[in-house]
Structures are given as C-alpha cells and as structure tokens.
C-alpha cells in the first residue's frame, strides 16, 4: 500500500477539509503523508502517543484487548475523523489499541504541533471537540450494541459504517479479524455472513466482502448504526467553516 501521491489532498479527511483556509494551510504544511497497512498497529496501550492520524482512504479500529487475549472494537475511524484523541484531551496514553482494519493512506501530525494548533483556539480546536462528542456517542452506543443486539445486526451495522467510510467498493476483511473487532467467535461471524449472503445483502468470498443491497443491509442493521451516523452528521463542522479547494 503506497502513501498518498501528489494528487491526493489532505482534504480527503473531512475534519481537515472543514478547517478555515488559513488554518488548513498552516496545518497541511505540517502533515506527513503515510501509508496505512492492513493490520498495522498505530499505537498500543500504555505507550506515549507520538502522532495524531487523519485517515484518507484507510479505516482504523480502536479496540480493547483483555488479559485473556479477547478483544472488541470501541470506535471505528475513517475519513470523517482522527486517531489520537488523548493527545488533545489532556492525556498522552490510552488503554486501547489502534489497528488499521482497512488498508489505505492518511496523514499524521506530530503531537507537539497538534497541541500547538489546538491551543490557538481556532477552527481546529472547535472541529476536534465536536468530533470527540460524536465519538462519545459511538462508545456508549457500542456498549449497548454488544449487550443487546444479535451478531447479524452487529455485522450489518459494522458493514454499513465501513461502507460509508469507503464510499462503496469491496471490503478486504477476514472473518477472524471481524470476529476480533466485534468480540465474537469466528463461527458466529461465519453464520452471520452466510445469512446476509443468502438474503442477497452481501457477496462474500474468503477475505472479501461486497455490499450488493445496501437498503437490505441497512434494514438488517441495529439502531446503533443510525444513531452513530446521525451524531456524526449533527456534530460535523458547518459548511461555512470549510476552506476552499
């Protein structure tokens, strides 16, 4: 997976695209384009975070791993967000891991420059705080989802959310990884994928998933998908804050 090319703009990331013209230019000059490879660990629990990551075409899972090795996703982050919230929320470490589950590219910003820009109190600060509020909604909703909704509903919601972040196309995802993200056994993922394929909502072959009926898959998803999507849309920066192209 290659890093962004000269034709790729940091404006692929919606948070960066929402900055005012002068703020965007200043932040963009400090960004480093990076490839984000499938399975790459961006940070681990207890380690000092060195960068904030702004995905462009990649999707990252923030998940918690127990002492027994079991894990579950708490937040998914794609082009709509940023990885590294503890940096600007007053901490520098976290109890979760950040792993790339859909390969692509993005941009990273050194933690010192991030804090410098955040403390200016300009549009970056407002954008990051609004995004953090949306992520709190996602964390709360995820906790309820794991407790009360079926595996089929969870898989449907996860696929819809990932599809939104990628704007269509084929998802490269093994059942083992999806099971790890959702905190369920591989066998349960197999059953759910088979059922969704039987319904005509997806087409699945080893390691590759294509959504063939988005409306059907959306109907199969639990309410959590809609709640989180609405929070992201409601808290997204207003169009008036967007810089020029």
CA separation for the pair 192, 169 (Å, rounded): 20
Residues with Cβ within 8 Å of residue 13, at least 6 apart in sequence:
54, 55, 56, 79, 82, 106, 107
Assign 141 to helix, strand or coil: helix
Residue 98 has pLDDT above 70, yes or no: yes
Q: For residue 160, give the nearest of 206, 107, 71, 227 by alpha carbon.
A: 227
Query: Which domains are present in the chain?
Result: 10-146 (2.60.120.10), 150-221 (1.10.10.10)
Cβ–Cβ under 8 Å, residues 170 and 208 = yes
Residue 29's pLDDT band, with cuts at 50, 70 and 90, is very high
Residue 1 has pLDDT above 70, yes or no: no
Residue 239 has pLDDT above 70, yes or no: no
Tokens of 186: 């591989």
Identify the weakest region by mean pLDDT among 142-146, 160-164, 192-196: 142-146
At 77-96, the pLDDT tens digits run: 999 999 999 999 887 778 88
Residue 233 has pLDDT above 90, yes or no: no
pTM value is 0.83
Provide the β-strand partners of residue 54: 107
Mean pLDDT across the chain:
85
At 198-229, the pLDDT tens digits run: 999 999 887 788 899 999 999 999 898 888 88
């Amino acid at each position: 997976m290659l890093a962004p090319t000269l034709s790729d703009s940091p404006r692929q990331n919606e948070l960066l695209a929402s900055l005012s013209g002068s703020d965007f230019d200043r932040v963009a000059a400090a960004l480093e384009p990076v490839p984000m490879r499938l399975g790459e660990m961006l940070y681990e629990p207890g380690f000092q975070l060195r960068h904030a990551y702004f995905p462009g075409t990649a999707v990252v899972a923030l998940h918690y791993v127990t002492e027994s090795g079991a894990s579950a996703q708490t937040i998914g982050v794609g082009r709509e967000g940023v990885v590294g919230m503890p940096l600007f929320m007053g901490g520098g470490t976290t109890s979760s891991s950040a792993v790339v589950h859909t390969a692509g590219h993005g941009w990273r910003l050194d933690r010192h420059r991030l804090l410098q820009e955040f403390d200016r109190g300009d549009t970056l600060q407002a954008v990051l705080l609004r995004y953090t509020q949306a992520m709190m909604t996602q964390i709360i909703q995820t906790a309820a989802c794991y407790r009360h909704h079926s595996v089929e509903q969870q898989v449907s919601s996860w696929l819809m959310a990932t599809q939104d972040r990628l704007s269509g196309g084929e998802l490269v995802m093994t059942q083992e990884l999806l099971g790890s993200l959702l905190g369920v056994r591989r066998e349960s993922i197999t059953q759910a994928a088979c059922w969704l394929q039987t319904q005509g909502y997806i087409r699945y072959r080893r390691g590759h998933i294509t959504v063939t009926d988005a409306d059907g898959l959306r109907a199969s998803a639990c309410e959590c998908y809609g709640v989180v999507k609405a929070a992201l849309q409601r808290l997204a920066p207003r169009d008036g804050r967007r810089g020029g192209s």
